[in-house]
Structure 1
Amino acid sequence: MTTVTTVNAAVPAGHRERPVQFARQVPFEAGARLFGEGRRADPFWIVRTGAVALDLHEPGRRPAAVGMLRHGELVGLSWHFPPRMGQLGAEAVSPVRTWESDAEAVRAVYAEDPEFGFTITVWLGLAGTDRLDRSRTRLLDLYAPQGNGGLA
């Protein structure tokens, strides 16, 4: 699925290669954890192939999936925003190939190039807004009374 939040759709051509300039190709097997809630948010990833589930920790249970990321989508938003601690966890649901980027190196580049920094900030804002919208839709599907969309 191509949305405005994929790197190719959200980042102008002149800046598209810059996030992966500091990246390396990293594969994950199905079931591998990319990161967990409350951990330092560095690095971040761009999905090349496969799917990654975003999840929330539930004490005494398996993490609850709250979103799915696929080709071209950014895994990890918290690396950009202080205090740079993960708000969610992420797990490969299939074999996944990624570009893993050094967040500190990318932040250093956009500190020197405000246009690039603005581009990255807009991309992260679009990705965050899209994820909130998807979550809102799922919550409405789960909890809204059939037919009226209101609270019971």
Structure 2
Amino acid sequence: MSTHSLLDALPPESRQRLLDTAAHEVPLVLDSRVFEEGRRADRFWIIRSGRVEVDLHVPGRRPAVVETLGQDDLLGWSWLCSPHVWHMGAHVVHAGQALEFDAATVRELCAADAVLGRAVYKYVAETVAERLYGTRKRLLQLYGPQADIAED
């Protein structure tokens, strides 16, 4: 994962505008759901402290944990592209704090400020790519050709 947060990836003026216009601090309450798969994605978070598991609904079973996120990680990207619906859920496993961003306001800021927009879209795209690569590696460990050998 990147060693910096979305805020670190922004030019100082853009960062301040984003913080002043679209962000506020929120608690991450232990054992709470941050968002649910299938619901409207109208915000996102940068985790300041604590841990959040991103999970996937599995009918008849507990949600499958896809990834665990912590300090400086971006939580949520479904807000960026239509239809703005969460594809997964998120559950707080260690209480903490996060910066919560209003997605509609951020999209408006990105449309009005090309520098901010490029930086946000680039950061989110790189984050998605890194996480997809990590998921691919985990799936290969579980189901790849070597997985059969490890079970013997």
Q: What is the TM-score when the length of structure 2 is the normalising length?
A: 0.87
Match of 1:137 in 2: 137
Aligned length: 148
Task: Point out where structure 2 has 5 or more consecutive residues left out of the alignment.
Answer: none
Distance 2:52 2:128 in 1: 16
Q: What secondary structure, in the 3-state scheme, does the structure 2 residue paired with 1:115 have?
A: helix
- 1:55–1:67 CA contact under 8 A, matched in 2: yes
- 1:44–1:79 CA contact under 8 A, matched in 2: yes
Distance 2:10 2:18 in 1: 10
State the 1:23 CA deviation: 1.2
Task: Point out where structure 1 has 5 or more consecutive residues left out of the alignment.
Answer: none
Match of 1:30 in 2: 30
Q: What secondary structure, in the 3-state scheme, does the structure 2 residue paired with 1:50 have?
A: strand
Q: 1:18 to 1:74 in 2, by over 3 A?
A: farther
Q: What secondary structure, in the 3-state scheme, does the structure 1 residue paired with 2:120 have?
A: helix
Q: Which range moved further: 41-50 or 20-29?
A: 20-29
State the 1:111 CA deviation: 1.4
Report the AA paired with residue 79 of structure 1: W
Deviations 1:52-71 (A, max 9, x none): 11110011221110011111
Q: Which range moved further: 57-66 or 9-18?
A: 9-18
- 2:49–2:98 CA contact under 8 A, matched in 1: yes
Report % sequence identity. Answer: 39
Match of 2:18 in 1: 19
Distance 1:37 1:55 in 2: 9
1:43 equivalent to 2:43? Answer yes
Higher helix share: 2
Higher strand share: 2
Q: What is the TM-score when the length of structure 1 is the normalising length?
A: 0.87
State the 1:12 CA deviation: 4.0
Q: Which range moved further: 134-143 or 18-27?
A: 18-27
